[in-house]
Structure 1
Amino acid sequence: MSHNFFALISRMRYIGRWGLMRNTFQENIQEHSHMVAVLAHALAVIRRDVFGGEIDPGQAAVLALYHDAPEILTGDLPTPVKYYNPEIRDAYREVEDVSARKLLSMLPEELRPAYTPVLIQEEDGYHALVKAADKLSAHIKCLEELKAGNLEFRQAAQQTRQALEESPLPEVAYFLEHFLPGFHLTLDELQ
């Protein structure tokens, strides 16, 4: 019997993000998930090595890699729509849950226990960290668009920055202070 889980996962590259906004370059959920994984790993390392927290950076990265996997079946619902009101937000969460369970059903039975916590993520310390990495990734996308002269992302940049500054996670503040300034630089300035 053939299982189509990984073939479907590979289609993340066809799901675009920021659908309501004019983009100077398109971003898909595969690219986004990679960046969120990089950032979640970094935030976990900061939590562990700077603040003495107990967390597995590898687990944070894996959860981030799959955090948008249900969108393969649902598409990417723009944030203003997704969070327009509690009923829409809750209904979309149910749709994402059904999508995650459909993805799980595409795995052999013996692999499902390993992928269940990855696709159906609990609200725990990892969840908060991945959400923060997701917000950081969105903010970085906004900064890149602004650097390219696309003012369409000005308000989104302000909103994501404010959300990051209000984060209760000390590793987010650390990242904003020590690493975010580099995203304002040109390639020549980075070297």
Structure 2
Amino acid sequence: MNHFFAYINRMRFIQRWALMRNSYTENIQEHSHQVAVLAHALAVLRNEKFGGQVDAGAVAVAALYHDAGEILTGDMPTPIKYYNPAIRQAYKAVEQVAEEKLLDMLPPELRPAYEDALHPADPEVEELVKAADKLSAHIKCIEELKAGNNEFRQAAAQTAAAMDAMRLPELDYFREHFLPSYSLTLDELE
């Protein structure tokens, strides 16, 4: 028996933002879907507006699986994960072991197809997934602040600063043209 897809299905049980009071919970399955949508959008923007040649489908697939290892490790809160370089490096090693364990749950003939999803070889794919991951975190902050939860004020500033530091024109374009809508109510969107 191969358990890979049964484990992937369990992404919905891993909650994010564990150290924060949340007005609504978010699991890594929901998060991964949002990151895939955002990463795909960033890839399309790169290609259509900024002369890129990245495979938007590969970007979306990598985003779908970008947190798959957390099925086995859980979601490590950002303040702990980035507390110091030694912890970050150790956690990266744990993530790699978890991803390898997941890949070992596949029949050998399927493993190469999923290996690239979990470990993208193209640095552009990885760059866009990271940008979309940070954008997704920022959107969560915006939605929490919109709900009156000031617990996310500092995280919103940190995620905005991290996106500024990325200096990606497609990310800046998305933030200028699409991100403001996330602050609006449903009635204001019409």
Shared fold (TM-score, shorter chain, > 0.5): yes
Match status 1:132 vs 2:122: no
Shift of 1:123: 6.6
The answer for the alignment partner of 2:42 in structure 1 is 43
Are 1:56 and 2:55 counterparts? Answer: yes
Q: Which amino acid aligns with 2:172?
A: A
Matches within 5 A, 1:1-191: 2-122=1-121, 124-191=123-190
1:103-133 Cα deviation digits (max 9, x unpaired): 0000001000111111123470111110000
Q: CA RMSD in A?
A: 0.9
Contact 1:97/1:120 (8 A) holds in 2: no
User: Helix, strand or coil for the counterpart of 2:110?
Assistant: helix
Give per-residue Cα distances to partners, 1:130-164, cap 9 Å, x unaligned: 00000000000000000000000000001111111
TM, length-normalised to structure 1 = 0.97
Judged with a 3 Å threshold, the aligned counterparts in structure 2 of structure 1 residues 82 and 122 are, in CA distance, closer, same or farther, namely farther
Q: Unaligned stretches of 5+ in structure 2? A: none
TM-score of the pair, normalised by structure 2:
0.98
Matched letter for residue 138 of structure 1: A
Distance 2:120 2:79 in 1: 23
CA drift of 1:26 comes to 0.3
Distance 1:77 1:85 in 2: 14
Tell me the CA shift for residue 14 of structure 1: 0.2
- Structure 2 distance, partners of 1:120, 1:97, is 9
**SS in structure 1 opposite 2:50?**
coil
d(CA) in 1 for partners of 2:97, 2:162: 29
TM superposition outliers: structure 1 runs of 4+ over 6 Å: none
- Residue segments in structure 1 that go unaligned for 5+ positions in a row: none
